[in-house]
Amino acid sequence: MKTNVLDVQFDGLTMDEALERALALMDRKNRGEGEPDPYVVTPNPEIVWLCRKNPDLSRAVSKAAMTLPDGIGILYGARILGTPLPERVAGFDFALNLFSRLAARGGSVFLLGARPGVAEKAAENLKNTYPGLVIAGTQDGYFKDEEPVIKKINEASPDLLLVCLGAPKQELFMEKNAPRLDVGLMAGLGGTLDVLAGEARRAPEAWRRANLEWLYRLLSQPSRIGRMMRLPLFLLAVLKRRVFGK
């Protein structure tokens, strides 16, 4: 079932349900006409707000096979609109759980994005943490010509392609290239590679449990204040939709 939050249609799934659906999608590389493109998006309020301003991003998000609520603000927004979502499915946690399940069955992942050298560090850490996980390949996000990157990914033919290029670049990349990529599933996950590589820190668990991960990021990176201002704008738009229906 879909839940509309400011015209972005979220899947009302728990983490376990999202993982099961992801694995099922990976097993269906040969898709029929009319089936959704094999990629997952994880919008937070900032990305939802960008969708309102960027028709290309909005289209790319709408074509995803799964749209998961990454930010706690999405859950608040859905609740205000009277259509609550079952739980937050944070993109980073979604990735870690997928790695675990793929490792159990000898599945493979290709890491795309971040600065040169970061994906390789992330790959080494993943090998140590998930011994059964096959690292099919790595590629930094600083490329101008997509063709060699597409070829490299197709030669690896991974079960999972992690696309960590930041929004909206990652969503547009997945939408554009889904028809010609030989992958089981793609997931757009922003700064995940930096955290996996140890280049950036995730908020401590206590902050995450208190739904204050956004505040931890702001305190750690005050330069994010401009981006964070989209959160109150998002909530105001939700309230307007609730009261006026538009």
Note the pLDDT tens digit of each residue in 6-17: 999 999 999 999
Residue type, 194: D
Residue 84 burial (10 A CB sphere; 0-12, 13-18, 19+): middle
Q: What is the spatial distance between Cα 4 and Cα 213, in angstroms, rounded to a whole number? A: 24
From the list 64, 65, 111, 72, the residue with the least C-alpha distance to 89 is 72
Task: Report the pLDDT value the prediction gives residue 53, as an integer from 0 to 100.
Answer: 93
DSSP 91: H
Task: Report the pLDDT value the prediction gives residue 71, as an integer from 0 to 100.
Answer: 86
Task: Report the pLDDT value the prediction gives residue 31, as an integer from 0 to 100.
Answer: 56
Residue 80, token pair as written in the block: 């205000």
Task: Give the global pTM.
Answer: 0.92
Task: Report the pLDDT value the prediction gives residue 230, as an integer from 0 to 100.
Answer: 78
- Rounded to 5 degrees, φ, ψ at 190 are 45, -120
Q: What is the spatial distance between Cα 226 and Cα 223, in angstroms, rounded to a whole number? A: 7
**CATH 3.40.50 is right for the domain spanning 2-196:** yes
Please count the helices (runs of H) and the strands (runs of E) in the chain: 13, 8
Helix (H, G, I), strand (E, B) or coil at 9: strand
Task: Report the pLDDT value the prediction gives residue 45, as an integer from 0 to 100.
Answer: 94
Q: Kindly state the percentage of the chain with pLDDT values over 70.
A: 92
Digit-by-digit pLDDT tens for the chain (246 residues) are 899 999 999 999 999 999 999 999 998 765 555 566 799 999 999 999 999 999 999 999 999 999 999 989 999 999 999 999 999 999 999 999 999 999 999 999 999 999 999 999 999 999 999 999 999 999 999 999 999 999 999 999 999 999 999 999 999 999 999 999 999 999 999 999 999 999 988 878 887 777 777 667 767 777 666 666 778 889 999 999 999 986
Rg of the chain on CA atoms, in Å = 17
**Do the Cβ atoms of 81 and 4 come closer than 8 Å?**
yes
Residues 6+ apart with CB under 8 A from 96: none
